[in-house]
Amino acid sequence: MYGMTNRIKIIFIGDVVGRSGRHIVKEKLPELKQRYGLDFVFCNAENSAGGIGITAITAKELLESGVDGITLGNHIWGQRIWLQQARQFKQVCKPLNAPAAWPGYDHVHIQQNDFSLVLISLMGQAFIQPALANPFRTIREQLPLLKDKYQTDNVIVDFHAESTAEKITMGYLLEDKVSAVLGTHTHVQTADEKILGNGTAFICDVGMTGPMNGVLGMSRDTAVERALNLMPASYRLEKDSLTGLNAVVLSLDPQTGKTINIERIQIVDNVFK
Ligand SMILES: [Fe+2]
Ligand SMILES: [Fe+2]
């Protein structure tokens, strides 16, 4: 059904933080879908429940807002109830390099008519806990199996990692092997979006979605207090009302799995940047 000139348009939204993050996704998706002609919507939702973790309620809210697939990261178990809920959500995936004992799915498969795509989450090892299995070896082993299983070259990898060097290295390992390697976790969008090789979209970090005037979405006052006093203070969401959405839009050739274009998006205070 897709001719040579058809493109699949995909938005990947960076770490959705708390209620304001979930709300701006719901509020902006209709406009984004129209503006970019979006076919599929993916997001990282490891911070969607109160800033730490995910629950069935926040997962459902995002899926009902039009999200087709959700990735997670180091905060996956921030809400312990997810241990009981993860298996209910085929559209939400844990990192592929996590222990097999972790409940839930280790990838998301999208099938619409004759279009097939695999969404994968991987976690890095540098400056991030818990240290999971080597993400480079894991993806090198698993990628051919997943491509074979679903008979597709359309693969999007969310690489949830802290170090830019580790992320760029993953980009080169997967150059021309996947459609995109999109970094998440730092919550700060980087300006290095590019196409590696002949069609692997890459960015070190997509950025975050939620309170923009805190410290990565959490209270700036608490962060400053902790830094000065070196005493425990429980993190809470930033209350400042300025909300933003950070994302990238990919233009994918569904016949080859190659990404033709990657565009960075920032919406802050209702203004597109
Ligand atoms: Fe995050
Ligand atoms: Fe994270």
pLDDT in tens, 198-221: 999 999 999 999 999 999 999 999
Task: Kindly state whether residue 120 falls inside one of the protein's structural domains.
Answer: yes
- Which numbered ligand comes closest to the C-alpha of 210? 1
Residues 42, 68 contacting (CB under 8 angstroms): yes
Number of domains into which the chain is organized:
1
110-118 average pLDDT score: 97
13 C-alpha to ligand 1 centroid (Å): 11
Closest ligand (CA of 46): 1
Residue 220 lies in a domain: no
pTM of the model: 0.97
- Dist. CA 184 → ligand 1 center (Å): 7
Look at the block and give the residue holding tokens 């590019």: 194
CATH number at residue 198: 3.60.21.10
Find the 223 Cα to ligand 2 centroid distance in Å. Answer: 17
Residue 136's Cβ-side half-sphere holds a number of Cα atoms within 13 Å equal to 11
Under 8 Å between Cβ of 121 and 96 = yes
Q: Does residue 226 lie in a domain region?
A: no
How far, in Å, is the centroid of ligand 2 from the Cα of 157?
A: 15
Told to judge if 75 belongs to the known catalytic residues of this protein, a careful annotator would answer yes
The CA R_g of the chain, rounded to the nearest whole Å, is 18
Q: Are 22 and 264 in contact (CB under 8 A)?
A: no
Per the structure, the complete domain to which residue 77 belongs is given by 8-212+241-272
In a domain, 232, yes or no: no
DSSP symbols for 62-82: HHHTT--EEE--TTTTSSTTH
Per-residue pLDDT, 5: 63
Find the mean pLDDT for residues 64-84. 98
Exposed, middle or buried by CB within 10 Å (0-12, 13-18, 19+), for 29?
A: buried
Interval between CA 162 and ligand 2 midpoint (Å): 8
Residue 245 lies in a domain: yes
Residue from 23, 75, 107, 187 carrying the catalytic annotation: 75
CA distances for 127 relative to 89, 132, 161, 167, 172, angstroms:
29, 12, 8, 12, 20
C-alpha dist (Å) from residue 162 to 18, 86, 126, 128: 21, 25, 7, 7
Is 60 exceeded by the pLDDT of residue 233? yes
What are 29's two structure tokens? 């998706």
Average pLDDT, the chain: 96
Residue 89 placed within a domain: yes
Residue 233: inside a domain? no
Nearest-angstrom CA–CA distance, 266 and 248:
9
Residue 236, in any domain of the structure: no
Could you report the per-residue pLDDT of 19-65, keeping only the tens digit for each?
A: 999 999 999 999 999 999 999 999 999 999 999 999 999 999 999 99
Among the bound ligands, the one closest to the CA of 44: 1
33-51 burial: b if 16+ Cβ within 10 Å, else e: eeebebbbbbbbbbbbbbb
